[in-house]
Amino acid sequence: MRTMKRAVSVALLAPLTLAACSSGGGTGEGSGADEGGGAAAGACEPAGEAVTLTYTSWIPGIEDVVAVWNEQNPDIQVKVQTGPNGNGGTYQNFFNQLEAGSPPDLGQIEFDALPNFRVQDGLENLGACEDVMAAQDQFVDWTWSQVTLGDEGSVYAIPQDTGPMALFYREDLFTQNGIEVPTTWEEYATAAEQVRAAGGYITNFSVSDINQFAGFVWQAGGKWFENDGDQWTVSLDGEESTKVAGYWQDLVQRDLVSTLPPWTSEWDNAYNTGQSWTWVSAVWGANSIATGAPDTAGSWRVAPMPTWEGLDGAAGNWGGSTTAVFKGSENVYEAAKFALWLNTSEEALSLLNEAANLYPATTAGQQLPALKEGVEFYGGQDIYTVFTEAGENVPGDFVWGPTMTQVYNDVADGFSSAVSGEGTLTDALGTAQGSTVDALKAQAIPVAE
């Protein structure tokens, strides 16, 4: 009876799968799953009955997007649960749930945390799902390489959004004070002096959310991790990182940037009251400013991120999420299907952009009509064109390590001490380098000394 049901539903669903394949270009990449990921990838078959999936995310307004799916898919109902942002607590919940053997079916995981979940054996390999493999061509290249984690036939999550970085700045204050909007980091430091003289701070350097710093290093062409298959190489204190750390150390030391903890009332207040004049942030930061500094509506504009000499046009990336299926989910097929809809359909991507300014990871998604319009909070500026250009100039080979939670923690602790006067940002990177190698060893992950 059961087998019968299953056979019938497979037959019924087959056209859907094929449709998904053809819409994705149907390049036959799906066969790769059998070779590369065959051993690791689990089965990816429909359950043949109505299922309910659980999904945890911290995207503001995600409930409304999921409601649209639930209406159209009575047999695959998704229960969404929201939490704090990943490093703010949701990842820890995920790890605990995995340890306890009861994770949700799906979860939001940022690109940088994927290796961490992979190394804890917490992710279902979607390499066996044909429509997932077929969707590869829809995504921006570097996002796909971040979800295969170096193994061609495997897919550990569906890319959702990206965070190309640019410079948010208070156009009104810059004009009033006759300060030029900086295009290079050198000019940025000069502008910082002028802004300080005018009574403000050019920006707030994020010492406890290290993702921003990582984005700076990414832009400068640095790499923190490499995985050659046999072992990891850690280079937190590499040449580029040291250069970027030295640059900010100088600004901090001269009291040209503030160092308030990010994502707090203090932070919002600094932007809302005009104490902070710029923010080098990702595309989703547009939403953070609009909600955190409502009194400044209309005064902000977006320009390309300042660049380093010799690296004209290169941009960093800060954040960006994926939708992953957790190990132990009994409905991998349905979960993957939902994740694909959420992250590739124009309907879902438009809603996500509207609700949370998410910037899609698919090439088609970046052409959404909503992304061609001016944004009122930014004086009607068509800000997304700046980010589209930045997205095209993000170096593609940045690799995240398998213990990023620890890396962020250790670097943040060191940075916090540094801005309080103990040591420097560069020292902090050196210390974190050592502690990261130790952390990898503690997890029995092979690492080069």
Contact residues: another protein, CB under 8 A: 91-92, 95-96, 99, 118-121, 149, 151, 207-208, 227, 229-232, 259-261, 264-266, 269-270, 275, 402-403, 405-406, 409, 412-413, 415-417, 419-422, 439, 442-446
Taking the C-alpha atoms of residue 433 and residue 425, their distance in angstroms, rounded to an integer, is 12
Whose Cβ is closer to another protein: residue 225's or residue 377's? 225
Angle between helices 265-272 and 285-292 (to 10 degrees): 80
* Count of Cβ atoms closer than 10 Å to residue 54 Cβ: 17
Shortest separation between residue 331's beta carbon and another protein, angstroms: 22
Whose Cβ is closer to another protein: residue 129's or residue 207's? 207
Tokens of 25: 């270009």
Its sign, for the CA torsion 194, 197, 198, 204, is positive
Whose Cβ is closer to another protein: residue 169's or residue 267's? 267
Whose Cβ is closer to another protein: residue 95's or residue 144's? 95
Whose Cβ is closer to another protein: residue 183's or residue 443's? 443
Taking the C-alpha atoms of residue 134 and residue 144, their distance in angstroms, rounded to an integer, is 12
Taking the C-alpha atoms of residue 90 and residue 320, their distance in angstroms, rounded to an integer, is 15
Shortest separation between residue 90's beta carbon and another protein, angstroms: 11
Taking the C-alpha atoms of residue 37 and residue 28, their distance in angstroms, rounded to an integer, is 15
Whose Cβ is closer to another protein: residue 36's or residue 221's? 36
* Residue (of 163, 123, 172) closest to 142 by Cα position: 163
Shortest separation between residue 215's beta carbon and another protein, angstroms: 19
Give the CA distances from residue 41 to residues 37, 148, 445, in Å, rounded to whole numbers and listed in that order.
5, 12, 21
Shortest separation between residue 443's beta carbon and another protein, angstroms: 5
Its sign, for the CA torsion 237, 243, 244, 247, is positive
Whose Cβ is closer to another protein: residue 113's or residue 352's? 113
Tokens of 10: 């497979």
Shortest separation between residue 261's beta carbon and another protein, angstroms: 6
Taking the C-alpha atoms of residue 433 and residue 411, their distance in angstroms, rounded to an integer, is 9
Shortest separation between residue 419's beta carbon and another protein, angstroms: 6
Identify any residues that bridge with 304 across adjacent strands, giving them in sequence order. Answer: 166
Tokens of 87: 């490093």
- Say which residues have a Cβ less than 8 Å from residue 421's Cβ, sequence separation at least 6: none
Whose Cβ is closer to another protein: residue 29's or residue 410's? 410
Look-up: residue for tokens 């704090």?
84
Shortest separation between residue 170's beta carbon and another protein, angstroms: 18
Shortest separation between residue 322's beta carbon and another protein, angstroms: 17
